[in-house]
C-alpha cells in the first residue's frame, strides 16, 4: 500500500473552516499579490456552500489516516461557447504536508472527476509571479495558453491547459489510415469550440514520412467536401508564394477519412514556427499585400461562405448569422438587466436591421474570392522573425473581398484600451479609435497595392461600415466585458459607441486607395 496515497471525501467548507480559509486566503495572495478582504471572502464562502450543495464531489479534501492534508475545488465552466471545460479553481496542500506528492494526487482526482462528466480539457490560472505554482502545474502536464491570460485587480493571471484523449481515439487506428506506424507520439490537443464543434489535433511522427499533424473534427461544417476544398486552397496559397502546410493523402488516396464519427485528415508538420506574441504592426504591410494577392487571384469560388460572412450562416449548426446573433444577444441582455435602456437599444437594433436588409443586394453583388479567413496570431508562421506563411484553413470559404479585408485590416481596440477609453467618456473613445482608423486605412491601402478596388466597392464602403462595425464579434465582446466588470455604469457609453458606428457619415470610398 502506498503511504502517500490519500483518500478523498467531499468537503463541507463549514465543517473545516480553517482548512478552506487557509487555502483560499493563501492562494488569493499568491495569485493576486494582495490580502483578501473579509467581505470578499464571505461572498466566496457563500458561493462554495451553494456549489457543495449541488455538486459535493467538486470540493474535496485529501486525507491520510483521517487527517486532512489538502483540498481541491473544481468547477465546470463554458470557456468556449457552450462547450463544458473543467476548471481547477483551487488546489492547496497544508504546509506541513508539502513535498510528499499529495498535490499531484489531487490533480489526478481532478482528471478523473472531469472524465466522469465527459469533459476532455482542464484549465487553471496562476499568478504571473507565483513560480512554484507554475512549475507544479507544468510538472502535472499543463501547458501555457497565452490567449487565456487575464488581468484581475491589477495582477496578471496566466492560463494553463491540459487535454485528455477523448472519444476512443488511439494512435494505431489513426496510423492505419495513413498506412504507417507512428514511431513517436508527440502531443494531443483538444481545440473544441462548443458541443457541436469538436476539434482534436494529434501530433505524430511516422516512419518514412516524418512529423505530421492529424486532425479530427465533428461539426456541421467539417465535411469531407470542405476538407477537400481546404486542401485545394492550401495549394493555391502555396502557388501564390504564401506558405501553408500541405494536406497529406490517406492510404486510400483521399484527403479525408472517417473514424468514430469524425472527419479525419492529415497535414504536413509546418516548416515554420508560430509566435503567439508577435506584434502585427511589425509585418502589417507584408501581411496585407498577401491578402491583396489572394483577392486578386482568379481561383474558382467554393459553394460555402467563410466564417466572416455577414449574410449567410457559415455552419448549418449556427442558429443565426453571427452579426445578427450578436445584436440580438446584446439587446436581450440590456433589456433584461438594465430596462431603463431597453427602448434605446431596441431602437438601435431596429435601425441596424433596417440598414442591414437594405444593404444586402449591394453586398451580394460585390467581388468575391476564397480566403483562409483567420489571420490571428496563432495561425501565422515565422522564419527567423520574418512572416513566412499561415496555417489552419478550417473556417475558410467564399467571401466578399471588401468584407474579408475589412475584418482583417480593422485592428479593434484591445479590451484594456476600450475600457480605458470608457473611463474618459465618448470623446476618449473617439480619440482612441482615430488611431485604429489610421491603421485600417493604411492596411486597406496595402491590399489595394495588389488588388484594385472597384468603383462598386468604393461606393458601398460607407454603408458597409455602418452595417458591419457596430456588432462585429470583437466589438460585441468588448461591450459585454464592460458590463461584466462595471454593470450599469458604462451602458450609456456602449450605446453611444454602437450609435456612432451605425450612423457615421464620414466613412467613404476614399478609405479604399
Q: Binning pLDDT at 50, 70 and 90, where does residue 183 land?
A: low
> Which pLDDT does position 77 carry in this prediction?
83
Q: What's the pLDDT at 81?
A: 52
Last residue of a domain, one of 143, 163, 183: 163
The reply to whether 1 falls in a domain is: no
Per-residue pLDDT of 216-259, as tens digits, reads 898 888 999 999 999 999 999 999 999 999 999 988 899 999 98
Same-domain check for residues 317 and 440: yes
* Per-residue pLDDT reduced to its tens digit, 449-480: 999 999 999 999 999 999 999 999 888 988 99
Predicted confidence at residue 118, as pLDDT, reads 72
Residue 2: inside a domain: no
SS3 404: helix
Residue 2's pLDDT band, with cuts at 50, 70 and 90, is: very low
Q: How far is 261 from 257, CA to CA, in rounded Å?
A: 10
The pLDDT, as a whole number, for residue 141 is 81
pLDDT at residue 18 is higher than 50: yes
Instruction: Tell me what pLDDT residue 1 has.
Output: 37
Average pLDDT, the chain: 88
Encode pLDDT of 300-321 as tens digits. Answer: 999 999 999 999 999 988 889 9
Q: Position of cell 489610421?
A: 438
- What is the reported pLDDT for 207? 66
Please check whether residue 229 lies inside any domain of the structure: yes
Instruction: Give the β-pairing of 83-93 and 121-127.
Output: parallel
Tell whether 211 and 107 lie within a shared domain. no
Convert the pLDDT of each residue in 85-136 to its tens digit. Answer: 789 999 999 999 988 899 999 999 998 898 888 777 788 999 999 999 999 9
Does residue 438 sit in the same domain as residue 500? yes
| Out of 172-181, 277-286, 337-346, 498-507, least confident range | 172-181
Give domain status of residue 179, yes or no: yes
CATH number, position 470: 3.90.1200.10
Q: Do 66 and 41 share a structural domain?
A: yes
Q: Label residue 144 by pLDDT band (50, 70, 90).
A: confident
Mean pLDDT of 256-275: 90
d(CA 420, CA 313): 34
CATH number at residue 121: 3.40.630.30
CATH of the domain at 256: 3.30.200.20
| H or E element in which residue 381 lies | strand 380-383
* Claim to verify: residue 334 and residue 476 sit in the same structural domain: yes
72 lies in the same domain as 178: no
At 162, the pLDDT band (50, 70, 90 cuts) reads confident
Number of domains in the chain: 3
**Helix/strand/coil for 505:** coil
Q: 401 is in which domain, residue-wise?
A: 280-511
Instruction: Band the pLDDT of 481: cuts 50, 70, 90.
Output: confident
Burial (CB < 10 A; 0-12, 13-18, 19+), residue 439, is middle
Whole-structure pTM value: 0.72
Whether residues 95 and 142 share a domain: the answer is yes
What percent of the chain has a predicted confidence (pLDDT) above 70?
Answer: 91
Same-domain status, 175 and 302: no
pLDDT band of residue 78 (cuts 50, 70, 90) is confident
326: in domain: yes
pLDDT tens sequence across 384-417: 889 999 999 999 999 999 999 999 998 766 656 7
The answer on pLDDT for 503 being more than 60 is: yes
Cell of 123: 484549465
Same domain, 493 and 380: yes
State the pLDDT at residue 189.
65
Torsion of CA 216, 220, 222, 226, to 10 degrees: 160
For residue 303, give the DSSP letter. S
Question: What is the model's pLDDT at position 420?
Answer: 77
DSSP secondary structure, 319-339, as one string: SS-HHHHHHHHHHHHHHHH-G
Domain end (from 223, 249, 271): 271
In a shared domain, residues 141 and 196: no
- Of 271, 294, 317, the residue that ends a domain is 271
Per-residue HEC secondary structure of 416-473 comes to HHHHHHHHCHHHHHHHHHHHHHHHHHHHHHHHHCCCCCCHHHHHHHHHHHHHHCCCCH
Residues 221 and 298 in one domain: no
CA-nearest of 433, 431, 443 to 470 is 433
Mean pLDDT of 314-341: 94
Let me know whether 65 and 192 are in one domain.
no
User: Residue 214 falls within a domain, yes or no?
Assistant: yes
**H or E stretch at 79:** strand 67-80
Amino acid at each position: 500500500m502506498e503511504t502517500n496515497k490519500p483518500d478523498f471525501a467531499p468537503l463541507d467548507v463549514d465543517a473545516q473552516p480553517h482548512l478552506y480559509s487557509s487555502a483560499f486566503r493563501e492562494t488569493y495572495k499568491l495569485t493576486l499579490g494582495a490580502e483578501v478582504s473579509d467581505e470578499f471572502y464571505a461572498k466566496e464562502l457563500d458561493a462554495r456552500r451553494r456549489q457543495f450543495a449541488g455538486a459535493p464531489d467538486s470540493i474535496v479534501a485529501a486525507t491520510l489516516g483521517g487527517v486532512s492534508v489538502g483540498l481541491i475545488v473544481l468547477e465546470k465552466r463554458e470557456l468556449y461557447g457552450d462547450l463544458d471545460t473543467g476548471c481547477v479553481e483551487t488546489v492547496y496542500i497544508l504546509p506541513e504536508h508539502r513535498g510528499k506528492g499529495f498535490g499531484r494526487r489531487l490533480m489526478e482526482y481532478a482528471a478523473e472527476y472531469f472524465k466522469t462528466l465527459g469533459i476532455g480539457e482542464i484549465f487553471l490560472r496562476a499568478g504571473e509571479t507565483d513560480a512554484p505554482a507554475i512549475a507544479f502545474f507544468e510538472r502535472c502536464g499543463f501547458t501555457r495558453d497565452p490567449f487565456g491570460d487575464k488581468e484581475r485587480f491589477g495582477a496578471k493571471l496566466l492560463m494553463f491547459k491540459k487535454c485528455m484523449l477523448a472519444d476512443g481515439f488511439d494512435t494505431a487506428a489513426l496510423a492505419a489510415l495513413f498506412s504507417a506506424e507512428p514511431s513517436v507520439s508527440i502531443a494531443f490537443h483538444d481545440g473544441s469550440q462548443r458541443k457541436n464543434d469538436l476539434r482534436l489535433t494529434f501530433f505524430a511522427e511516422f516512419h518514412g514520412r516524418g512529423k505530421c499533424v492529424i486532425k479530427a473534427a465533428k461539426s456541421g461544417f467539417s465535411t469531407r467536401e470542405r476538407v477537400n476544398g481546404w486542401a485545394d486552397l492550401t495549394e493555391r496559397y502555396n502557388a501564390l508564394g504564401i506558405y501553408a502546410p500541405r494536406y497529406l493523402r490517406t492510404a486510400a488516396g483521399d484527403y479525408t477519412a472517417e473514424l468514430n464519427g469524425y472527419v479525419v485528415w492529415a497535414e504536413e508538420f509546418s516548416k515554420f514556427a508560430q509566435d503567439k506574441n508577435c506584434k502585427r504592426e511589425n509585418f502589417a504591410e507584408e501581411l496585407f499585400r498577401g491578402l491583396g494577392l489572394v483577392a486578386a487571384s482568379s481561383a474558382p469560388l467554393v459553394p460555402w461562405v467563410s466564417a466572416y460572412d455577414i449574410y449567410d450562416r457559415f455552419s448549418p449548426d449556427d442558429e443565426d448569422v453571427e452579426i445578427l446573433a450578436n445584436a440580438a444577444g446584446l439587446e436581450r441582455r440590456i433589456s433584461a438587466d438594465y430596462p431603463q435602456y431597453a427602448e434605446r437599444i431596441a431602437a438601435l437594433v431596429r435601425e441596424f436591421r433596417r440598414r442591414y436588409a437594405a444593404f444586402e443586394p449591394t453586398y451580394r453583388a460585390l467581388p468575391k474570392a476564397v480566403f483562409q479567413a483567420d489571420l490571428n496570431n496563432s495561425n501565422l508562421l515565422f522564419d527567423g522573425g520574418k512572416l513566412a506563411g499561415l496555417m489552419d484553413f478550417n473556417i475558410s470559404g467564399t467571401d466578399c473581398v471588401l468584407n474579408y479585408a475589412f475584418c482583417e485590416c480593422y485592428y479593434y481596440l484591445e479590451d484594456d484600451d476600450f475600457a480605458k477609453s470608457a473611463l474618459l467618456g465618448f470623446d476618449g473613445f473617439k480619440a482612441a479609435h482615430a488611431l485604429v482608423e489610421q491603421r485600417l486605412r493604411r492596411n486597406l491601402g496595402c491590399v489595394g497595392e495588389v488588388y484594385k478596388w472597384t468603383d462598386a466597392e468604393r461606393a458601398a464602403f460607407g454603408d458597409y461600415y455602418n452595417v458591419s462595425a457596430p456588432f462585429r464579434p470583437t466589438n460585441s465582446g468588448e461591450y459585454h466585458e464592460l458590463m461584466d466588470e462595471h454593470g450599469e455604469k458604462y451602458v450609456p457609453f456602449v450605446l453611444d459607441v454602437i450609435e456612432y458606428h451605425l450612423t457615421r457619415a464620414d466613412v467613404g470610398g476614399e478609405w479604399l486607395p
